[in-house]
Amino acid sequence: MENRIIPQEELSKFGSVQSINEQAKSLIEQQRLTWKVAAKNFSALATIQTKNFDFGHFKITVQFNAERIRSSAAKTDAKSLAGRTCFLCLKNMQQKQKGILFQNKYLILTNPYPIFPKHLTISNREHIPQQILSHFHDMLQLSKNLPDFTVFYNGPKCGASAPDHFHFQAGSTNIMRVEKEFDELEKNHSQILLQTNDIKIVATENYLRRFIAIVASKKELLEEKFKQIFDLLDIKNGEEPMLNVLCNYTKNQWRVIIFPREKQRPSHFFRDDEQKIVVGPASVEMGGILVLPREEDFKKITKKEIEEIYSEVSISKEKFSPVLKKISRLK
């Protein structure tokens, strides 16, 4: 374990170490300068291709990012997971990959295949499955300690490429479309489900995908409401509900955005003709950045395919509406 932790003295050569937030940014710089894989892929972000599709009161950004093929096309069935080594376990990490400890429980790492200018993987030290409920309090604490980042969670069947090893990711804040558009959505395109002096819960539907947002300043209250909402979502075969979660902390309060899901991947992924689109929707995609690892898909995709992709993987209106009614009755 010790050889995976960068000593503070070494880290300080690459930036400030005054807080976890500053250490994380210094870590990214250190890894960029000492690890060829990270250096290559972070440098590539400067010339990465993107294009925006306007849907009226919101936009979807499409990003061509070839290195994300590992995640978008990852095989996450039980047989495939059992047949590969876990890349998040300490013993299997690449030699140059190093990180910083958080609460002696997580290893904060630079994501070597970034989507954001600053992109982290925050991996549990233990090889335990991807299940958010018992780790949600850690997510809140991480986001408070990483104010320059949005912390996000991908469910085991909602974009996580290592569903057998618990982890979060974190990316530069205010990059995802939903973060840029949230205030407008909350004001003009959302339904208030619950509001007190300490908490506000809203739901948004007219957004290609549907989400529930919780804004609160009290951690215990936020944890309580998250669990209540979690319990209201559809649980299949004893597994956790399909969802993606975004979390950030600003102005002394948390904002948690929950995207309930219907499917892991859209039908476009499984086609074997020219209409095939390799896409694995996860938190970033639900947040409004559609990452495509194949250039041909990036060139040919239209608003029609974007609408179809989100419609297929997002929770349906028929399932969403009863959940909202139950949330509005919470106390």
Distance linking the first and last C-alpha atoms of the chain:
45
pLDDT, residue 2, reads 63
3-state secondary structure of 187: helix
The alpha carbon of residue 23 and the mean position of all alpha carbons in its chain are separated, in whole angstroms, by 21
**E-assigned strand segments in the chain:** 49-54, 59-64, 99-102, 106-110, 119-124, 149-154, 167-172, 190-195, 199-204, 211-216, 243-250, 253-260, 289-292
Residue 317, classed as helix, strand or coil, is helix
Domain boundaries, the chain: 177-260
Instruction: Give per-10-residue mean pLDDT for the chain (331 aa).
Output: 85 96 98 95 93 97 91 77 87 91 96 96 96 97 98 95 95 97 96 95 97 97 97 84 97 97 94 93 98 96 97 96 94 73
Instruction: Give the model's pLDDT for residue 1.
Output: 60
CATH 3.30.160 fits 177-260, yes or no: no
Q: What is the pTM of this model?
A: 0.96
The β-bridge partners of 226 are none
Structure tokens given for 262: 């219907």
pLDDT the model gives residue 236: 73
* Nearest residue to 22 (alpha-carbon basis) of 133, 210, 122, 148: 148
